[in-house]
Structure 1
Amino acid sequence: METRILWKTLVFTAIIFISGVGVGIWLDSMRVAELEDMMEKMSFQSEDLRLQTLYFETFGQSMMYQAFQNYSNYSNFCDAAIQQNLIFGDRVYEEGLRIERYEAANRLLPSLIAQKKKYVILNTQFWFNSINLKKMCNANYSTLIYFYSHYTQSMDQDVQSKVLLDLKKECGSRLILIALPIDLDITTIDAVKNQYNITETPTLLINEEIKMEGLQKREDLEKILVC
């Protein structure tokens, strides 16, 4: 009798376990599918913004010549380009927060890591586009690049992330905050690491000029950024 009860208990436990695993796999698949759809839409918007900047660079001389005759056209183009870039930046920022939530549920799922890499590449393209627009149109915003480790978690990274999120909320569109993992084997990120000698995390890069290694206090960042 006791043996029969034990077997029933084991079978019931196994069913519950298998059901839980199945639900977990289904949820992970749903998350990845949602990210894939989001990445496709963001990739199109990113390419559109890059094409817009390329247009500006290609016809820059003629546009500068026209600017002396009709400044409003030149100014309107810059205003529109900057605004669209900032809108895309806000979307990138929000989607980054969503990916973080998904990572907390299943950090090592291969398909999720693949989507994370696509997101990082889009984020890097957004950074480069923001640099070009700032040069061409004298845009009034600061860039803050947060280099961190995807695979090696630390208390300093957790604290730094919270500090930067609070700072972003305060500064709004005047601050372009971009988080880039240094250990996902992405060639462009490796090139940036070599250029700025990024050897530890967290590391911050402000306006492509000021590098700050280790955990940074909010008040110290506010002195530099002036949001």
Structure 2
Amino acid sequence: MKIRRRIFGAAFLITAFLLVTILFLGSVMNLERKDYIEEKMSILSDLNEIQTYSMLSDVYGNRLACLAFKKKLTEWDKTLWDLGLKLERYRAATEEFQKDPFYLDQKKRFNENQVLYMAFLTKAKKDCEFDVSIVSFFYKNSEECVKCDAQSFVLTDLKRELNDEVSIFSFDVDLEITNIGLLQQYYEITEFPCVVVNEQPFCGMQDKSFIIRKMCESNNNSACERYAIN
């Protein structure tokens, strides 16, 4: 009887220890996620520099502003893309994390900064004749949009293949951000997923070859030759 009580007691202690360990690790992982995202979000304050570059354009002309734009836009593009992937990985990793107020706040800030960056990149593309394709992706939650995740995978593969030749922006319509709503109205987006390739909207699921063909209509990139698109 004493031995049985000892066994039960030991089992209870082991179970309690494992439970506490799991809860602690879960808490640490969430803190690490938050610390990482918070650190990366601070980098996005660099977007304020875009306003300075815009002023340089007004005062000194496009040549000086374009030199500044070209140097910084590559850095910002990689930062935004990497952070966007990180946020989506955390969203997919745990249902609780995507309901976290911190996560939602950071994702809203991320989407708002994407709108700002995309607007200035579009301006720089026109004023400075940058040879880069701009793709924006409008999506909703997977319950309402069963193909949105699949479209995201296609765009991730496209970005991996073309790297700096394309800038891809992902906009979560469910966040109900005013500027994203305005873009949605401007492009007359009523179906999801929806991609906008160099100012042309194409709603419904689009494969990589279709998107590349549309990109090649206005921009020449390395994929055009590989896919024999002129």
Q: Same fold (TM over 0.5)?
A: yes
For structure 1, which segment, 8-17 or 31-40, has the greater mean C-alpha deviation from structure 2 after superposition? Answer: 8-17
Residue of structure 2 equivalent to 1:103? 91
CA-to-aligned-CA distance 1:133-181 (integer Å, 9 cap, x gap): 1222222222100111246475522221221122222322221111111
- Tell me the secondary structure at the aligned position of residue 192 of structure 2: coil
- Once the 2 structures are TM-superposed, how far is the Cα of residue 126 of structure 1 from its aligned partner? 0.9
Residue of structure 2 equivalent to 1:42? 44
- Once the 2 structures are TM-superposed, how far is the Cα of residue 110 of structure 1 from its aligned partner? 2.2
Residue of structure 2 equivalent to 1:19? 21
- The answer (yes or no) to whether the contact 2:136–2:196 under 8 Å persists in 1 is yes
Amino acid at match of 1:9: A
Amino acid at match of 1:52: Y
| Pair 1:218-2:216 in alignment | no
| Pair 1:179-2:167 in alignment | no
Gaps of 5+ in 1: 65-73
Greater relative contact order structure (CA < 8 Å, 6+ sep):
1
- The answer (yes or no) to whether the contact 1:92–1:123 under 8 Å persists in 2 is yes
- The answer (yes or no) to whether the contact 2:80–2:114 under 8 Å persists in 1 is yes
Which of 8, 12, 28 is equivalent to 2:30? 28
Gaps of 5+ in 2: 222-230
- The answer (yes or no) to whether the contact 2:134–2:168 under 8 Å persists in 1 is yes
Q: Distance in 2 between matches of 1:142 and 1:134?
A: 9
- Once the 2 structures are TM-superposed, how far is the Cα of residue 108 of structure 1 from its aligned partner? 2.5
Q: Distance in 2 between matches of 1:222 and 1:24?
A: 41
- Once the 2 structures are TM-superposed, how far is the Cα of residue 182 of structure 1 from its aligned partner? 0.6
- Tell me the secondary structure at the aligned position of residue 211 of structure 2: helix
Question: RMSD in angstroms over aligned alpha carbons?
Answer: 2.3
Residue of structure 2 equivalent to 1:144? 135
